[in-house]
Chain A
């Protein structure tokens, strides 16, 4: 079974631009979560989607948004990029229940200049 895929793997943007990252979960997984990883803050939860609905959200500004499609694929968008948005963005997918493990993709490394 194919793992979680994320595109693109690397992105370079300038301040003020916006960016869209994509995540395709493992086949059959309906929950998709996004995390931001930076050297200073570590791994932080952004949001979780299930059946096209956001059902959990971390403490990030409204510039960070996401959505999920009917095939469970998910996108996240960051508008008006800031230098501090430079990070590795990781997507994770899982089955539905509380006990289910989250499996991560390879991440998208975003650099904001």
Chain B
């Protein structure tokens, strides 16, 4: 079965510094997708970044980058130059198996609560 593990329940980072949020995954599939979402206290899940298992380059989106190490099955999120607005829950997710024509649902980790200090 597929599984996402986020071992950091909470983290603090100083404003303007970089921070790495850890994510490891388990799957027997050769083709899979990994996602990171941000959830502020308002509740909405905001898509940040996507990495496909066959992508040779690490994904980047503005201040977000994904450190993808396939052999170690890790997909860590790096946020550069943290801002106060980055304080939120961060979820790593993997797309589950697709069958019956389904796209495959997202399987989420437990999340990491990031707090940015001024």
Contacts and interface: CB of A to CB of B under 8 A. Distances in A.
Interface string A45-71: 100101000011010000000000000
Contact count band on B:
20 to 34
Interface stretch (B19-27, B45-53, B70-78): B45-53
Given A48-B105, A101-B47, A104-B37, A42 B110 contact: yes
Contacts of B35: 101-102
Interface residues of A, number: 28
B108 A99 contact: no
Contacts of A96: 103
Nearest to B44: A106
A31 B99 CA distance: 15
B105 A56 contact: yes
B42 interface: yes
Interface string A66-88: 00000000000000000000001
Interface of B: 33, 35, 37, 42-47, 50, 52, 91, 93, 95-96, 98-111
